[in-house]
């Protein structure tokens, strides 16, 4: 057992030395490392751009947004939305009114800014949007008439408010029931639309990276086979000595496979290293041009696993085919 293992190790070292001193060694290394380096650059570049986009969208999504009828949010305000006619100083106009029960919660969720307010000694609160107030010359302490489906009530303007363009054209009050429809306005800190876009983008990018990895590696597979075959043919006399000392074809096949596999693993690591270095050089050049990337991603494992597995499979099949072809000839 010990002698057999020693012979196998010696055979492995002989075949490894034969391969390393061959002119085809460089061709073999290039056929493995070059496509792996290209795939690494592709994968890392695509993921870097994706992470950059994801970072920007994440920063945007951290801004609070108002959602409608998402009752599972705890920070919500129940609003009765209705349309009414306002009569003020012989002028009449239509307006949307939000009738709320909790005014403080509503102002926080909708980011309402109270521009002007009188002391609230009134039973009912009424605030008019700034745009409407300026258009019809309405100020605080003004008495107006609100008519809803033929039902009219008199109220005093307690405040003037402002917000986005929409909020500047509505009125806010309380204690109006039985009209309009109820809506839950909720404020959340996560944008679900952006989450879906980013997730779909990530899946598409992974698919593109896998396709590019296969497309890049495929042309070099025949070069890899020819390099192994050339080494075998150039040093057939040296290898025939191994047959003469009594080694069977299975042992030689195993040792040749291990020797080629070892060199292939070195080529793969070399290709990944070259790809990562090339990526950083490219990003450094972009930085000189004023284009900054805040994140730098390493290659996607799935995009590298496929070409690596293909390379190792081709190495295995190449060795088996070459050994079997030589055995058939002999």
What are the extents of the domains in the chain? 2-61+192-329, 67-188
Cα 179 vs. chain centroid, distance in angstroms? 46
pLDDT tens for residues 180-220? 888 888 776 555 556 666 667 666 766 776 777 777 777 77
Query: Residues 81-137: pLDDT tens digits?
Result: 889 999 998 888 899 999 888 888 888 888 888 888 887 667 788 899 988 898 889
User: Predicted confidence band at 160 (pLDDT cuts at 50, 70, 90)?
Assistant: very high
Residue 182 near residue 175, CB atoms below 8 Å? no
- The DSSP bridge pattern shows strands 181-188 and 170-173 to be unpaired
Residue 41 has pLDDT above 70, yes or no: yes
Residue 72 pLDDT > 70, yes or no?
A: no
Q: Which of 8-22, 236-250, 268-282 has the lowest mean pLDDT?
A: 236-250
Where helices occur in 235-294 by DSSP H, the ranges are: 236-244, 249-288
- Residues 92, 152: contact at Cβ < 8 Å? no
Top-ranked range on mean pLDDT: pick from 85-94, 255-264, 311-320: 85-94
DSSP-derived letter for residue 62 is T
Pick left, alpha or beta for residue 246 (phi over 0 → left; psi -120 to 50 → alpha; otherwise beta).
left
Q: Which of 219-223, 292-296, 306-310 has the lowest mean pLDDT?
A: 292-296
Encoded tokens for 255: 């040792």
Measured CA to CA, the distance from residue 136 to residue 19 in angstroms comes to: 92
User: pLDDT-based confidence at 1, cuts 50/70/90?
Assistant: very low
Amino acid 67: pLDDT? 61
Statement: the pTM of the whole predicted model exceeds 0.85: no
Helices (H), the chain: 2-20, 24-61, 103-110, 130-136, 192-234, 236-244, 249-288, 301-329
Q: What angle do CA 104, 106, 108 make, to 5 degrees?
A: 70
In this prediction, residue 69 carries a pLDDT of: 60
More confident residue, 330 or 155: 155
């Amino acid at each position: 057992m010990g002698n057999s293992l020693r012979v196998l190790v010696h055979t492995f070292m002989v075949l490894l030395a034969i391969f390393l001193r061959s002119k085809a060694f460089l061709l073999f290394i290039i056929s493995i490392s070059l496509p792996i380096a290209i795939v690494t650059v592709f994968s890392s570049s695509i993921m870097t751009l994706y992470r950059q986009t994801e970072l920007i969208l994440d920063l945007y999504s951290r801004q609070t947004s108002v959602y409608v009828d998402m009752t599972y949010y705890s920070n919500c305000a129940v609003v009765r939305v209705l349309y009414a006619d306002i009569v003020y100083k012989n002028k009449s106009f239509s307006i949307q009114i939000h009738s709320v029960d909790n005014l403080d919660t509503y102002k926080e969720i909708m980011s309402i800014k109270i521009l002007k307010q009188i002391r609230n000694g009134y039973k009912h609160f009424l605030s008019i949007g700034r745009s409407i107030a300026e258009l019809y010359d309405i100020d605080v302490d003004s008495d107006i008439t609100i008519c809803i489906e033929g039902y009219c009530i008199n109220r005093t303007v307690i405040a003037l408010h402002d917000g986005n363009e929409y909020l500047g054209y509505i009125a806010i009050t309380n204690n109006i029931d039985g009209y309009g429809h109820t809506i839950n306005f909720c404020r959340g800190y996560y944008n679900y639309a952006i989450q879906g876009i980013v997730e779909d983008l990530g899946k598409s990018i992974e698919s593109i990276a896998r396709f590019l990895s296969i497309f890049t590696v495929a042309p070099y597979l025949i070069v890899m086979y020819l390099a192994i075959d050339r080494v075998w043919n150039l040093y057939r006399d040296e290898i025939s000595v191994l047959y003469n000392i009594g080694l069977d074809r299975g042992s030689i096949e195993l040792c040749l496979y291990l020797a080629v596999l070892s060199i292939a693993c070195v080529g793969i690591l070399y290709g990944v290293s070259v790809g990562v270095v090339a990526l950083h050089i490219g990003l450094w050049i972009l930085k000189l041009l004023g284009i900054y990337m805040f994140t730098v991603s390493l290659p996607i494992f799935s995009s590298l696993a496929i070409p690596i597995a293909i390379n190792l499979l081709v190495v295995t099949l190449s060795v088996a085919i070459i050994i079997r072809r030589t055995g058939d000839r002999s």
